[in-house]
Amino acid sequence: MIPKLTRYGARIAALLVLSIGAVIAVAAITDDPATTDAQHPSQAAAEQQAEVEEAIEDVRLRHVDYIQETAGADVTVKAAAVADYAVDKAEGLDDAQEDADQAAEEAAMNTNPTSVDVPSSCGEYSGNRATGCALTLEWGWDLEQFASCLEPLWNKESGWNELAANSIGAYGIPQAYPGNKMSSEGDDWETNPVTQIRWGLGYIANRYDDPCGAWAKSEAEGFY
């Protein structure tokens, strides 16, 4: 619509130029002011000029109204589009946050603390050994089961190093084989000594009843 209005305005502007030229030409031909009356061609030219100016003004006003209307429509459309985008973006962020919160909750539910409270009866031990001693007592076994059996067993297997790995794939403090068996105790099985020790104590309880049973097996056959 804008190009049509512009072409129409250009034609009228050209007509205006020709009309003005006609007025100038008539004025140049006659020197007698008395001849400039209602019947003189210059009068017709003046009237034509007035009509042209009126038409030009009408076109200009129509053009201004059109720009204002379409500009307003464009702003409305753009505003609506921006609003829709903002809503979609907000909903997407909310969904992402919910997924992140759920994942964090699930991860927290399937991990263990990296340390435990160590009772005074385990005070002679430190590091992972102190944790092992505390968890052994928590499991229900006495201190002798730890000091005489579990401590030397896992010292032999891994040196109580939660990152220990051997050439066949055994891993962690209890040397679980394969190491990912310990994922049943927690997703942090590769780095968390608490997760590894708890898994190892469960393995020993199910297979040998207690740490001393596992130690006897290891002493007799070199593995448990």
Domain annotation covers residue 79: yes
pLDDT of residue 110: 72
Write the pLDDT tens digit of every residue in 150-181: 999 999 999 999 999 999 999 999 999 999 99
Q: At residue 55, does pLDDT exceed 80?
A: no
Q: Are 8 and 60 in a shared domain? A: yes
3-class secondary structure per residue, 151-195: HHHHHHHCCCCCCCECCCCCECCCCECCHHHHHHCCCCCCCCHHH
Domain annotation covers residue 156: yes
Nearest Cα residue to 154 out of 138, 131, 137: 131
pLDDT of residue 50: 72
pLDDT of residue 63: 52
Is residue 195 within 8 A of residue 185, CB to CB? The reply is: yes
Q: Are 72 and 147 in a shared domain? A: no
Q: Are 151 and 202 in a shared domain? A: yes
Domain annotation covers residue 36: no
Is residue 112 within 8 A of residue 194, CB to CB? The reply is: yes
Domain annotation covers residue 101: no
Write the pLDDT tens digit of every residue in 175-191: 999 999 999 999 999 99
Q: How confident is the model at residue 114 (pLDDT cuts 50, 70, 90)?
A: confident
**Across 16-37, average pLDDT:** 45
Q: Are 132 and 214 in a shared domain? A: yes
Q: Are 79 and 126 in a shared domain? A: no
How is residue 175 written in tokens? Answer: 């040397």
pLDDT of residue 92: 67
Domain annotation covers residue 99: no
Domain annotation covers residue 145: yes
Q: Are 78 and 126 in a shared domain? A: no
> What total of structural domains would you count in the chain?
2
pLDDT of residue 4: 47
Residue with more model confidence, 214 or 31:
214
The residue written with tokens 């009408």 in the block is 58
**Across 93-101, average pLDDT:** 70
**Domain limits at 172?**
120-221
pLDDT of residue 138: 97
Question: Cα–Cα distance between 97 and 212 in angstroms, integer?
Answer: 49
Q: At residue 83, does pLDDT exceed 50?
A: yes
Domain annotation covers residue 172: yes
Q: Are 67 and 136 in a shared domain? A: no
SS3 content of the chain, % helix, strand, coil (to 5): 75, 0, 25
